[in-house]
Chains A and B, each alone.
Chain A
Amino acid sequence: MMFRRTAKAAPDLPPLGAQRTGWLLAVAASALLPHADHLPGWLGAVTLLLFTWRLAQWKRGWPGASGWIRTLLIVAGCAGISLTFGRLFGREPGVALLALLLVLKLHELKSVRDGHTVVLLGYFMLLAAFTYSQTPAMAALLFAAMGVITAALIALTGPPAAPLALLRQSGWMLAQALPFMLVLFVLFPRVPGPLWGLPLDAHGARTGLSDSMEPGSISQLSQSGEIAFRARFDREAPPARDLYWRGPVLTEFDGRTWRQGTAARRTGGTPPHPVAGPRSGYEVTLEAHGKNWLFALETVAALPAGARVSDDWQVLSGDVVRNRRRDRFESVLAARPGIEEWSAHIDAARRLPRDGNPRARALAAELRRQSGSDAATVDALLRRFRREAFVYTLTPPLLPGADGIDAFLFDTRRGFCEHYAGAFVFLARAAGLPARVVTGYQGGERNSVDSFIVVRQSDAHAWAEVWLPAEGWRRVDPTAAILPSRVERGLADLAAGEPVPFVARADLGWLRTLRHRWEAANNAWNQWVLSYDQQRQRELLSRLGMAQPDWQTMTAWMAALCGLMAGALTLWALRRAPGRDALARAWAGLDRALAPAGLGRAAWEGPLDYAERVAAARPDLAADLRAACTLYADARYGGAPLAPAAREIRARSRALRCHRTLHHR
């Protein structure tokens, strides 16, 4: 019944068997699985439903989807996709459409040709999955999926075999491709910059700092364990309390929100003022974050080419950071830049809204009067934060829109770093000192496996800067005054009951080690696979002893290595492939001895028939060949021991080889 239907549908094409259909179902499953997390929900459900239906048809003999159901589904699916995405082209709708087509194709499998379509579609879906995620876990998943799809391809073209055997064969084939992949990856000449980039929507909304700050904006970040960047120092990394990674500097305040000022918009290719002191060199591998900020330690002294630095010392890249990037910086950690600061910037750092927060203003005036000098005022402000009962918490109470700083300083007294930094700068300005808020990241965790400093979103921090005429901009971290351990050890030491981000917990030692290993593996993958660019290639090749890694040398090496490997594989296959055991190799050797004289065995020819055919044509070879063929037949089909037969066949082959040339006309 089943057969007749397929035969009627495609009379001239070889029909698929049940086993191959099963393989194609596996192809669809492994091609769709990597897309599971980004298909729209309704489409995921439809896809799963159609797949389950087809599975039931295959396994339980359910009726299949008829032609009009398929037509209906494709029309409805296209409509749904264009409604969901607003278009039918581009990566997201394209992948969604392909997923739908792939499961629908499963419902019209008639011939082997349909099977090939599914296999090709499957490969393409794997490629598409790489544009979403390039993590090592994803790579492993896709590699496994590729093994399944390749096994299906073998099942489509080859004779029927056990599933495990097909998987083994496909794995073996992929393993053979591996050295070529490595050589091409390492040696293929790279052009500086991306040859083709990922689509613009490859990176959606990212968590990260923003260019403004109001109460609550950073405490949200504190819950994210996502990695912001990694850094590796040339020498020993400085202690965590000295690691202030400078981000947007916020000068303007409207009573509630802090924003960047004019100093942020004036940029140059070199630091605005020379920085003197011992320099630390380090490399930062920044994750894509959708803004054009780079994060360097205070105070940056040397920039990578193409980067710029603003008058308020924030480092910027030429354009938005859409892909992970690696930059080299040098910083002077103890510097106090800006003794000669433009007066416009100093004036901007003094400005306050005309009214609001009267209690804070009164307090600042009071402190200013008591302490006298600028430096003493700063100390008095810090003392005040330290002495009063302020609580550092990730879940501060909501503050009123107006007079929020008053409410925080005198009523709630519970806050996160942005509250302290904001309140401190407000007080400082109210006391007549130029001050500004600096956001960025503070600290970082040293990975014990690869010694990279890992900085997460949960390390996002805000601190303050006060300009003192004699020393320039001085960093003041009021949070450190409340809770010194925040800048020593990160968030791990928060008060009991606080929702500490899972990744920041210090108590689970084994978990930490495990996480370090995993992140180190991720980092190695990022450093050496995903960011393997021209510079990395040069480094690696010169370390391997290639004197001049220009593209001609690399191409020559690449061709030579690939040729060498192809040759070695071919040679190995020639010796090995015709058989699995010594007897088969000896038998193939016999064929090689006689084939050049035109006396080779046809693939389908039985051993005794072959001996008789050749004996009739070349009686001089008859004795040896008959003996060899009988030995083979007895060993292969009669159960005689293989090894002695193989030895004897090899001996006869040698004799035949001499004979063949002696008598060959």
Chain B
Amino acid sequence: MPTAAAPRALIDAASELILGKRSRIELALTCLIAGGHLLIEDVPGTGKTTLAHVLARLFGLDFRRVQFTSDLLPADILGVSVFERDSGGFRFHPGPVFTQVLLADEVNRATPRTQSALLEAMEEHQVSVEGETRRLPEPFFVIATQNPASQIGTYPLPESQLDRFMMRLTMGYPDPAAERALLTGRDRRSLLEDLAPCADAAQLTRWRDEAQALHVADALIDYVQALIAHTRDGGRYRLGLSPRAGLALLAAARAHARVHERSHVLPEDVQAVLPAVALHRLPPLDPLPPDDAARMLLQAVALPH
């Protein structure tokens, strides 16, 4: 197993598979290092599953996928205790949530009850089934997807649940050059199978610890506070960023700085993760296209001197 790889090497490796999406890959990796969960909103076929697969594969992590449907029950995710005649007792059959990377596809198709079962597991890193609490494996990383195009028969995640995702990304269509390379290149699935892990869970934990230990200057905290204050008092949003969102922003900025091999966190790190971390938690008073919304937020707050 290769060790001491740089995060950049992982991004390079993933970019060979997922073409033209380097910034998304970087953010997804940042989210993983920061210990958060990821929500991807996009139409089907834009590489959401591939992204989840690639990340799991590069770290050599277990990967499970659950397709959410309206009849999915909490037990279908968490697991269930079954009576076994041989042993004469109940045995717990763990559900798909007991994995390291979980792809929850079309999470908004399931009922709020099932959604909240997953979201609680995400938050606590443990599940309670029939009175017994079971730890989930570490690392535990959920990539949930939502299809914004078809809203019929769905249960959109409420704001309080959205807040539990550290980041929200959209994949977007590839640019023409990437599209062409995709059309002429090898089959993605076989490429994925050939992909060798560049790191392992221990490496991920190390990066996580290193990100935690990065120097954060007062000036940076000032900046983060100014951003949060702007969302609360700036008059542009119906609801400002929560303290949890503030923590998530700083954690994501630390991870981003670690991905870029910096010894301290820069405003650039905050700005790089800000749209992904903040926009899904900020219901705007007048909706804007995502790019405009991101620019509006970034450019509204001056850096401290």
Q: When A606-B267, A633-B266 are in contact, do A638 and B217 touch as well, CB less than 8 Å?
A: yes
Q: Which of A471-526 contact B (CB under 8 A)?
A: none
Known contacts A7-B238, A159-B233, A587-B305; is-contact A607 B266 (Cβ 8 Å): yes
Stretch at the interface among A74-82, A145-153, A530-538, A576-584: A576-584
Chain A residues positioned under 8 Å from B215 (CB to CB): 637-639
Interface size class of A (residues with CB under 8 A): 20 to 34
Interface stretch (choices A37-45, A285-293, A540-548, A597-605): A597-605
* B160 within 8 A of partner (CB): no
Which residue in B219, B229, B232, B235 is a CB contact (below 8 Å) of A636? B219
With an 8 Å Cβ cutoff, the count of chain B residues facing the other chain is: 28
CB distance from B81 to the nearest CB of A (A): 40
A588 at the interface (CB under 8 A from B): yes
> At the interface with chain A, which of B46-54, B188-196, B293-301?
B293-301
A89-107 contact mask (Cβ, 8 Å, vs B): 1 or 0: 0000000000000000000
Given contacts A14-B233, A637-B264, contact A603 B303 (CB under 8 A): yes
B266 and A579 contacting across the interface, CB-CB below 8 Å: no
Residue B226 CB within 8 A of the other chain: yes
Name the contact of B267 in the complex, choosing from A13, A587, A637 (C-beta under 8 A): A637
User: Which residues from A are CB-within-8-Å of B159?
Assistant: none
Chain A, 573-626, CB within 8 A of any chain B CB: 578-580, 584, 587-588, 602-609
Give the nearest-CB partner of B260 in chain A. Answer: A608
Taking CB atoms and an 8 Å cut-off, the chain A residues in 629-664 that contact chain B are 633-634, 636-639
- Whether B220 contacts A637 by the Cβ 8 Å rule is yes
Task: Tell me if B233 and A606 are in contact (CB < 8 A).
Answer: no
> Inside 8 A of A636's CB, which chain B residues have their CB?
217, 219
A469 at the A/B interface (Cβ < 8 Å)? no
B82 within 8 A of A: no
B268 at the interface (CB under 8 A from A): yes
Assess whether B305 is in contact with A579, with CB atoms less than 8 Å apart.
yes
Bound state CA distance, A584 and B302, in angstroms? 14
Chain A interface residues (CB < 8 Å from chain B): 3, 7, 12-14, 17, 159-160, 578-580, 584, 587-588, 602-609, 633-634, 636-639
Please name 23 pairs of A and B residues whose Cβ atoms are closer than 8 Å in the assembled complex, sorted by A: A3-B239, A12-B285, A14-B234, A17-B233, A159-B229, A159-B233, A160-B233, A578-B305, A588-B305, A603-B302, A604-B299, A605-B303, A606-B267, A606-B268, A607-B267, A607-B268, A609-B268, A609-B271, A636-B219, A637-B215, A637-B219, A637-B266, A638-B215
Q: Which residue of A lies closest to B239 (CB)?
A: A3
**A17 contact from B230, B232, B267, Cβ within 8 A:** B232
- Which listed residue (A12, A13, A604, A634) contacts B302, Cβ 8 A? A604
Instruction: Return the CB mask of B238-266 against A: 1 if under 8 Å, else 0.
Output: 11000000000000000000000001111
- Which residues on B sit within 8 Å (CB–CB) of A580? 305
C-alpha spacing A636/B234, complex, angstroms: 26
In the complex, what's the smallest C-beta–C-beta distance from B252 to chain A, in angstroms? 15
The interface of chain B, by Cβ under 8 A from chain A, is: 215, 217, 219-220, 226, 229-230, 232-235, 238-239, 263-268, 271, 285, 298-303, 305
Give the complex CA separation of A580 and B218 in angstroms: 13
Query: In the assembled complex, which residues on chain A have CB atoms less than 8 Å from the CB atom of B220?
Result: 637
A637 and B265 contact, Cβ closer than 8 Å, known pairs A587-B305, A604-B302, A604-B303: yes
Q: Given the known A-B contacts A14-B235, A17-B232, A587-B305, are A638 and B300 also in contact in the complex, defined by CB atoms under 8 Å?
A: no
Q: What B residues does A607 contact at CB under 8 A?
A: 266-268
Kindly provide the distance from the CB of B146 to the nearest chain A CB, expressed in whole angstroms.
Answer: 26
Residue on A nearest B234 in the bound complex, by CB: A14
Query: What is the minimal beta-carbon distance from A374 to any residue of chain B, in angstroms?
Result: 90
Residues from chain B with Cβ under 8 Å of A603 in the complex: 302-303
Sample of 18 further A-B pairs with CB below 8 A, known A604-B300, A604-B303, A637-B215:
A3-B239, A14-B234, A160-B233, A580-B305, A603-B302, A604-B271, A604-B299, A604-B301, A605-B303, A606-B266, A606-B267, A606-B268, A607-B267, A637-B217, A637-B266, A638-B217, A639-B217, A639-B264
Asked whether A606 lies within 8 Å of B303 as measured between CB atoms, the reply is yes
Distance in angstroms from A221 CB to nearest chain B CB is: 60
Q: Report the nearest A residue to B295, measured CB to CB.
A: A604
- Residues of chain B within 8 A (CB-CB) of A606 are 266-268, 271, 303
Residue of A nearest to B302 (CB): A603
Docked pose: A608 CA to B256 CA in angstroms: 15
> Residue on B with the closest CB to A604?
B299
Q: A605-B303, A637-B219, A639-B215 are in contact. Are A160 and B229 (CB under 8 A)?
A: yes
